[in-house]
Structure 1
Amino acid sequence: MGVITLVMLGSLAVLAVAGVVLWGQEADRPDPSAVLRGSTSEHPLGTDHLGRDQLARLLSATWPSLLPAVTATLLGAAAGITLGALTAVVGGRAARLLGALINLLLAFPAILVAMFLAALIGAGTGGAVVALAVASAPGFARVTQTLAAQVAGTDFMAASRVLGLRRPRLLLRHVLPHIAEPLLLNVTVAAGSALVALSGLSFLGLGVRPPSYDWGLLLNQGLNRIYTEPLPAVAPGIAIVYAAVAFQLLGEVLATAAARRTRPQPEEEPAARPARTDRPADPDHVLEVDDLRVALPTADGVVRPVRGVSLTLRRGEMLGLVGESGSGKSLTALAIADLLPDGARATWGTHRFLGADVESLTREERRGQLATGMALVFQNPASAFNPSLRVGTQMTEAVRTHRGTPRAEAVDQALTQLHRVALPAGRRLLRARPFQLSGGQRQRVAIAAASMTRPDLIIADEPTTALDVTVQRQIMDLLRRVRHDDATAILFISHDVALVADSCDRVLVMYGGTIVENLPAHELATGARHPYTRMLVTSVPDLAAENDRPLRAIEGRPPDPSGTAPGCAFRDRCPHRLDRCAVESPVLSPLGPRHEVACWQPPPAAPSGERHQTEEAQK
């Protein structure tokens, strides 16, 4: 498409420049002996009523046809974009008045406004350009108003107003640069429409007037003998369509290029696939994942935020996954649930869910298995629910789609689940929309919706974040109840080390895209052996600590996920690092019963004083 667009626009540019120079004199030279002739070798498109060559007039009309269209588009865009962008920088009353004005102007069809103004101003190129510019301005204003509204409510706009920046600076510095790309695409597409509209005005006698001419006027002059000599009428029509399509394709090409910039393409060469393991499936395991890796293409190269994660989950088990932000916890969960963003790729040695090898399933089988056997509870239920649909519709959708449950029965199941999560206002709540509920209610509804299909695995991705302590405890009680009543396995992702230690059976500690420690939850406070895990535990705030003592924190920064340096990812922040850590990455190795550590020299267990402080902090 890019090559075709370039060729079409290039041909129009050449004709616009060379048309008047090469064929201008011939186009204006009358020949009384060759009046209204048909197509001949000397005049391929025939001649007009004065004997002028129609092909020469068609080619030399390229510039008079394109220039007014582009000019009208730019004038209309300038006026409309200014009017629409002002709604983001003026006060509330002025913004409402401008919005009402835009709505009023949009009530009149643009082409009728252009015809009325062209007749009012007077026929001619200038009048047609002004008329079309005025008629197209409201459309640009509405698009700009919509785009600017998204910028007007941002924090940086509020900060700019606090700093006292004047409206012209707000407009030019903070509003227009953020919406320039979609506006450019609209201007490009509108140029093609303007060409058609101006040609229509000339065709009706409201645009270009003789002795000047453009494609619309040539089309009008050739229409009188279209049944005897169709070429003089068809050729200007083809020229109008050709130029309009060229402008439309330019907009498509620019939009595609913009999409490529925001959605990087995956790497050209596929990453090496880890060797598959042939270990037999354990019937008690709900989930088995070995050597999971995730690659994300970006504009700066491929980022690998998950590098060789292995985990298993038994029925009824709650497995905690902890680590700093950016360690790869949520991407691990999304890869397991087949919900990675576009362009991201996941590879693994083994991936079994409910005893079935995921790769052996078809796409439809895999979706059906995940839809009924796995459920997710997201960190922010406000964005997880569709605000335009009622709660009941979203709760019953999965069982009705994948289980074929009748609507009445699905509603009864939803009421049961709501009562189970201590939301007794059943049918009234089912008729509500998500934004009508509080944060705690939405999270309870999310857990109830996740339990509708009685899944074998629930992935809870920080479900208690931003909730107060009381609601947080209620949510954790609900997850424990679901786990014990239905023997549901739960993968619980959280930053709260104390909450994980209190609620889970096992804990996986993640750092730099890998698992650095796997240990029972009751040993997290006293038996952690990896330096990173120890630092996470000791950084838990202690309410009994002195007020003037600073909170403990892990010095340094997490590793860059795009980095490829060898050695241990934690070595720069580790007080126990060895020379070996800089050249060789440690592997997860058994340290005791159900305890694995990825460290070349695990430090000894925490001293008794430190253990007591840590236990008190977690309490």
Structure 2
Amino acid sequence: MVKRRGATWLAALRTPVGAFAATLLVVVIALAVLAPILWHDKAYEIDTDAIGQGASAAHWLGTDDLGRDILYRVLVATRLSVLLAVVATVIGVVTGLLLGTLPSLLPRPAARLVTAAVNIAVAFPGLLLVLFFSVIFGVGAQGAVLAVGFALAPAFARLAQTLAASVAGHDFVSAARVSGVGRLRLLFRHILPNIGEPLVVNATIGAGASLLAFSGLSFLGIGVQAPDYDWGRLLGEGLDGIYINPAAALAPGVAVVLAGLAFNLVGETVAGVVGVRTPSARLKARPVAATREDVVEDRDDDAVLLVENLQVAFPRPAGWTVPVRGVSFTVRAGEAIGVVGESGSGKSLTGLAVSRLVEAPGVVTADRLEFAGKPLLTTPERELRSLLGTSLAMVFQDPMTSFNPTRRIGRQLAEVSEQHQGMSRSKALARAVDRLRAVRIPAAERRARQYPHEFSGGMRQRAMIGMGLMGQPRLIIADEPTTALDVTVQRQLLRLLARTRAERNTAIVLISHDIAVVSQTCERMLVMYAGRVVEDLPSAGPSVTPRHPYTRALLAATLDLDTDRDAPLAVIPGRPPEPDRMPAGCAFADRCPAVTDRCRAEDPVLERVADAHRVACWHPHDVPPSGPARAESVKESVTAGGAE
């Protein structure tokens, strides 16, 4: 871990921002240490023959009203300017951290009092707080340091409070409380370690603000007093003769800007490392979709969506990881297809890739990816925006996070028609109410004026479907639309999708963990495992029998009313491989009861084994002779096959 973090730091320093920040900070620190040693005497040397001169060969930036060299004074002032800014930052961070974490330690009345005090302080502009504290602590460097430090504290305290509150609600903190961990130990062992990184980043950036504030106080004559001087004091002195020698004022001003920039850019670099940003300089070339030999379905002029060899890749410090690798399928008009598989199999990511919702640095490649006859990977974004906004609807897994919590439901639905169909505000809102009514939301006009949190889970899902119906969708991609809903609401949503499909000839791609729901709702089923489609089969029929061991295991693990409650639950042993650790052969080999050496050495491709039935397996299950006993549901077929 230490080696990896060190490599991340080195990679961050190789970026333009990181390299420039590090160089600038090293120069500032070197001047702060060496300048007083090398040029202290020259900075105080008075030359009565060169009073108030402009730039010359002897004095590159000219002299002040006592004939002292301005360049040497600016360089020597680096130490005091930077030192006082750092001390003020430390005071502000420590004070802010105390104020921010005290509510976690104090009784509730006292905690509310501290929080209220911090909120009031944050409401005042920072400069006003600095001037206020300067009056309290008095004129001089010491008073200015305290003024800047305490003025910085409220904002840092608010940040610490927010971060601590976000961590305090986690289960591991609750478990620590239950186990009897004291408040102080809880703070230092469980809360602060989890919020330390963003605090460090903000402290680094805050040092630049402290430098600017301190220089401002010295410029006003409240900060450093003679005979000492910092950049702010030099700026104030040079301003009097700016028309005679502009360099006298510009030099300390430029020094303040460069030093503040160094602190801020270092904070940005630290944020990049803390945020584990993948260094682009170390990435290999973008991945190219590997050629696959899967048997692709016959191309149909009625196809709404055509996908061939779809691949989605994301960068990692060690290279690229490919969670979706070589997916191929076709969706025809009015067809309902279910996509099933365990968590991490690539179901949702496939839906996002088809919807053009995979953002950089993710990379989507495919031999062919077409929606409504338009190639999604090569068509300009401007042309796709209107097509995807009106002809493709996406129903996300959690509509509470998909809807904007600060906007009313009706306005969010109306935005679709305003942006993509050019409707006026009033007409778009009227259509939004009509769409809410179409998805069976009672009192649609009143509900359109409500916020997402005022809707139940099922109503939010229906409102999300209503948003998709604002246009004329030819395809609806529903990503786990029934998750965390009771069975009654699930049935209502599935009926709504079925009715939409029947009335509008809309194709539906239903992504779900529940293979029973898919088998009852969809005509075809795509079974995904480790980023690939391992079986494509009709959902039901007298001659349908799953051939892939993974599909059979999923179905065997499905519960229904006939399940023997005394028998142990069926499970699939093991776990899927990680996307960046795919085995050489079949990804299911380690969990498959019928694995052979060929399975571990060669990756099978999708091959047609019957009409509308494709399987990626070297040893697909042999279908028993057809007969009356075989004219049952898919699950019954698998149960019978598993008993053989």
Q: TM-score under structure 2 normalisation? A: 0.88
Q: What amino acid is aligned across from residue 622 of structure 2 in structure 1? A: P
Query: Which shows bigger deviation, 519-528 or 545-554?
Result: 519-528
Aligned partners of 2:305 and 2:370 also within 8 Å: yes
2:566 to 518, 528, 548: 548
Structure-1 residue corresponding to 2:471: 453
Structure 2: runs of 5 or more not aligned: 1-16, 640-644
Q: 1:230 to 1:311 in 2, by over 3 A?
A: closer
How many pairs align? 618
Q: What amino acid is aligned across from residue 354 of structure 1 in structure 2? A: A
> Residues 524-544 of structure 1, C-alpha deviation per residue, up to 9 Å, x if partnerless?
996112111111111112433
Instruction: Tell me the distance in 2 between the aligned counterparts of 1:194 and 1:207.
Output: 13
Percentage of matched positions with identical amino acids: 46
Aligned partners of 1:543 and 1:617 also within 8 Å: no
Aligned partners of 2:297 and 2:329 also within 8 Å: no
Structure-1 residue corresponding to 2:130: 114
Q: 1:395 to 1:617 in 2, by over 3 A?
A: farther
1:590 to 597, 608, 617: 608
Structure 1: runs of 5 or more not aligned: none
Q: 1:39 to 1:158 in 2, by over 3 A?
A: same
Structure-1 residue corresponding to 2:489: 471
Query: Which shows bigger deviation, 249-258 or 449-458?
Result: 249-258
Secondary structure of 1:172's partner? helix
Structure-2 residue corresponding to 1:302: 320
Instruction: Tell me the distance in 2 between the aligned counterparts of 1:231 and 1:259.
Output: 41
Structure-1 residue corresponding to 2:576: 558
* 1:245 and 2:261 aligned: yes
1:62 to 78, 95, 103: 78
1:83 to 91, 99, 112: 99
2:595 to 545, 566, 577: 577
Q: What amino acid is aligned across from residue 334 of structure 1 in structure 2? A: L
* 1:155 and 2:155 aligned: no
Instruction: Tell me the distance in 2 between the aligned counterparts of 1:276 and 1:563.
Output: 19
In the TM superposition, residue 361 of structure 1 has moved relative to its aligned partner by: 2.4
1:173 to 178, 181, 189: 189
Instruction: Tell me the distance in 2 between the aligned counterparts of 1:210 and 1:479.
Output: 79
Instruction: Tell me the distance in 2 between the aligned counterparts of 1:408 and 1:205.
Output: 59
Q: 1:440 to 1:265 in 2, by over 3 A?
A: farther
Secondary structure of 1:309's partner? strand
Instruction: Tell me the distance in 2 between the aligned counterparts of 1:39 and 1:451.
Output: 72
Instruction: Tell me the distance in 2 between the aligned counterparts of 1:368 and 1:561.
Output: 34
In the TM superposition, residue 491 of structure 1 has moved relative to its aligned partner by: 0.7
Secondary structure of 1:527's partner? coil
Secondary structure of 1:59's partner? helix
Matches within 5 A, 1:97-136: 97-136=113-152
Structure-1 residue corresponding to 2:345: 327
Structure-1 residue corresponding to 2:288: 272
In the TM superposition, residue 229 of structure 1 has moved relative to its aligned partner by: 4.0
In the TM superposition, residue 36 of structure 1 has moved relative to its aligned partner by: 4.9
Q: What amino acid is aligned across from residue 23 of structure 2 in structure 1? A: V
Structure-1 residue corresponding to 2:408: 390
Aligned partners of 2:289 and 2:310 also within 8 Å: no
RMSD: 3.0
Query: Which shows bigger deviation, 525-534 or 71-80?
Result: 525-534
Instruction: Tell me the distance in 1 between the aligned counterparts of 2:638 and 2:77.
Output: 83
In the TM superposition, residue 396 of structure 1 has moved relative to its aligned partner by: 2.1
Aligned partners of 1:276 and 1:350 also within 8 Å: no
* 1:536 and 2:515 aligned: no
In the TM superposition, residue 562 of structure 1 has moved relative to its aligned partner by: 1.4
Q: 1:524 to 1:302 in 2, by over 3 A?
A: farther
Instruction: Tell me the distance in 2 between the aligned counterparts of 1:374 and 1:546.
Output: 42
In the TM superposition, residue 502 of structure 1 has moved relative to its aligned partner by: 1.2
Instruction: Tell me the distance in 1 between the aligned counterparts of 2:425 and 2:142.
Output: 64
Instruction: Tell me the distance in 1 between the aligned counterparts of 2:604 and 2:261.
Output: 60
> Residues 161-196 of structure 1, C-alpha deviation per residue, up to 9 Å, x if partnerless?
222222232322332333333322322222222222
Instruction: Tell me the distance in 2 between the aligned counterparts of 1:24 and 1:484.
Output: 87
Matches within 5 A, 1:352-371: 352-371=370-389
Aligned partners of 2:552 and 2:638 also within 8 Å: no
Q: 1:264 to 1:438 in 2, by over 3 A?
A: farther
Q: TM-score under structure 1 normalisation? A: 0.92
Structure-2 residue corresponding to 1:350: 368
Aligned partners of 2:395 and 2:464 also within 8 Å: yes
Instruction: Tell me the distance in 2 between the aligned counterparts of 1:177 and 1:501.
Output: 47
Q: 1:226 to 1:162 in 2, by over 3 A?
A: same
Query: Which shows bigger deviation, 236-245 or 451-460?
Result: 236-245
In the TM superposition, residue 432 of structure 1 has moved relative to its aligned partner by: 0.9
Structure-1 residue corresponding to 2:13: none
Q: 1:340 to 1:612 in 2, by over 3 A?
A: closer
In the TM superposition, residue 353 of structure 1 has moved relative to its aligned partner by: 1.6
Aligned partners of 2:333 and 2:505 also within 8 Å: yes
Aligned partners of 2:369 and 2:375 also within 8 Å: yes
Secondary structure of 2:609's partner? strand
> Residues 62-111 of structure 1, C-alpha deviation per residue, up to 9 Å, x if partnerless?
21221111111111111112211333555543332221010222344433
Q: 1:159 to 1:610 in 2, by over 3 A?
A: farther
* 1:14 and 2:30 aligned: yes
Structure-2 residue corresponding to 1:206: 222
Matches within 5 A, 1:426-437: 426-437=444-455
Q: 1:347 to 1:27 in 2, by over 3 A?
A: closer
Secondary structure of 1:93's partner? helix
Query: Which shows bigger deviation, 35-44 or 210-219?
Result: 35-44
In the TM superposition, residue 254 of structure 1 has moved relative to its aligned partner by: 3.1
Instruction: Tell me the distance in 1 between the aligned counterparts of 2:278 and 2:418.
Output: 36
Structure-1 residue corresponding to 2:12: none
Q: What amino acid is aligned across from residue 128 of structure 1 in structure 2? A: A
Q: What amino acid is aligned across from residue 70 of structure 1 in structure 2? A: V
Aligned partners of 2:543 and 2:631 also within 8 Å: no
Q: What amino acid is aligned across from residue 620 of structure 2 in structure 1? A: P
Structure-1 residue corresponding to 2:334: 316
Secondary structure of 2:540's partner? helix
Secondary structure of 2:327's partner? strand
* 1:413 and 2:440 aligned: no
